[in-house]
A and B are shown apart, each in its own frame.
Chain A
Amino acid sequence: MLGARTPTGMAQPSKTQIDRLGDRLKKGSPNESDLISLDNYRRSFSPAYEAVVRAIRDQLDLEPTGRPGKSTRSIMEKLNRESIRLTQVQDIAGCRVVVSDMSAQELIVALIGAIFPGASVIDRRTKPSYGYRAVHLVPRISGKLVEIQVRTSLQHVWGELSEKSADVIDPDIKYGGGPDFVRDTLLSLSSALKGFEDLEYRIQRLLLQGVHHEIQDELQSFEEKLVKQKRSFAEQCHELMVTLDQIRS
């Protein structure tokens, strides 16, 4: 068993020991000793996790929802899906911030980046992961990675839809698999949301410039496109509901 607790704290297993634990977890059916070892490893992220959440709370006056430790099942699935070592999993600990729109997202990402200047930034808005869009920042605190997810409310709705579909229909949906129509509809929804958010962002930028006569036409054109995008998104949500009812009946 790794990291048996001592009165002064937890022992530090080696990287090799942790990765060997990961290899055993990949095989499925972990024994009790491995579950305890994984729990100890999970808890070793607590100081880093708490530092991140505290910084976001204190310096940005935000209330992230935190996950001090990824679930065992999710860790095992990730190890198998991505063929990575346990020490390479960068979202053992993490937190999530949901903001109103892309303007807010840009601001919060910049502010978090200023708090954690060395953090790696994964911008899934430009390169979605099977439709998933958000910005993730991953600072390293005392050698431990902590994942900070920053989502707009619409990106969050899509993310939850995708996760729940994976839960109740097919776990492969989140990663490009599952029934064709569900997967394709989710991708289409993601694309519609991107179009919608891009337009909304451009409208906001225009409004910041002040609505002068020369951009009035452009603004009106954007707003008309926005209405169409909204309608398209609502229709696709409805189609998805109908399909899900058919699959599950």
Chain B
Amino acid sequence: MIFLIEYDRRKGLINLTTFDDSERSNAENRRLQIELDLNRRGLGCEVVLLEAVSEEALRRTHRRYFESLRTLTASGSDAVASVDKR
């Protein structure tokens, strides 16, 4: 699956659009359209395409786009604690 992410570094995730694997070209065109529009309006959001087998996988490998700093920090301890279970 292809994920088009619009992300404001301060505010967090603005929008997430999902595309099928077969729609790469559409996704790239859409990414460019959004970026050009943001540029015309003088807005500095990040617009990026990511690919993953599922949204769940994406949220695991790119948590920055989906979680707050507090949640990420708290999860640091959880991640270490969970090592016991391996």
A96 nearest CB neighbor, chain B only: B61
Interface residues on B, range: 35 or more
| CB-defined contacts of A163 to chain B, threshold 8 Å | 64
Are B86 and A71 touching (Cβ within 8 A)?
no
| CB-defined contacts of B63 to chain A, threshold 8 Å | 160, 164
Report the bound CA distance from A168 to B64 in whole Å: 10
Are A168 and B74 touching (Cβ within 8 A)?
no
Are A241 and B80 touching (Cβ within 8 A)?
no
Are A165 and B69 touching (Cβ within 8 A)?
yes
- Whether A35 contacts B35 in the complex (CB less than 8 A), given A73-B44, A168-B10, A200-B83, comes out as yes
Are A98 and B61 touching (Cβ within 8 A)?
yes
Are A65 and B32 touching (Cβ within 8 A)?
no
Chain B 51-65 interface mask (CB, 8 Å, partner A; 1/0): 111000110111110
Q: Separation in Å of the A143 CB from the closest CB of chain B?
A: 20
Report the bound CA distance from A119 to B38 in whole Å: 37
| CB-defined contacts of A96 to chain B, threshold 8 Å | 61-62
**Interface residue SS majority, chain B:** helix
Q: How many A-B residue pairs have CB under 8 A?
A: 121
Q: Separation in Å of the B22 CB from the closest CB of chain A?
A: 13
| CB-defined contacts of B83 to chain A, threshold 8 Å | 101, 154, 196, 200, 230
Interface centre among B61, B62, B64 (most CB of A within 10 A): B61
The number of chain A residues with a CB under 8 A from chain B is 49
Q: From residue 93 to 139 of chain A, which have CB atoms closer than 8 A to chain B?
A: 96, 98, 100-101
Query: Is B36 an interface position by the 8 A CB rule?
Result: yes
| CB-defined contacts of B16 to chain A, threshold 8 Å | none
Are B52 and A65 touching (Cβ within 8 A)?
yes
Interchain CB contact (< 8 A) of A161 among B44, B48, B72: B72
Query: Is A156 an interface position by the 8 A CB rule?
Result: yes
Report the bound CA distance from A154 to B80 in whole Å: 7
A selection of 14 A-B contacts at a CB cut-off of 8 Å is A32-B36, A35-B35, A63-B52, A65-B58, A67-B50, A70-B48, A71-B47, A98-B60, A158-B76, A161-B69, A164-B63, A164-B64, A230-B80, A234-B81
- Closest A-B pairs by Cβ, 10 of them: A65-B61, A167-B9, A66-B51, A237-B76, A234-B77, A71-B48, A63-B53, A65-B52, A241-B73, A157-B79
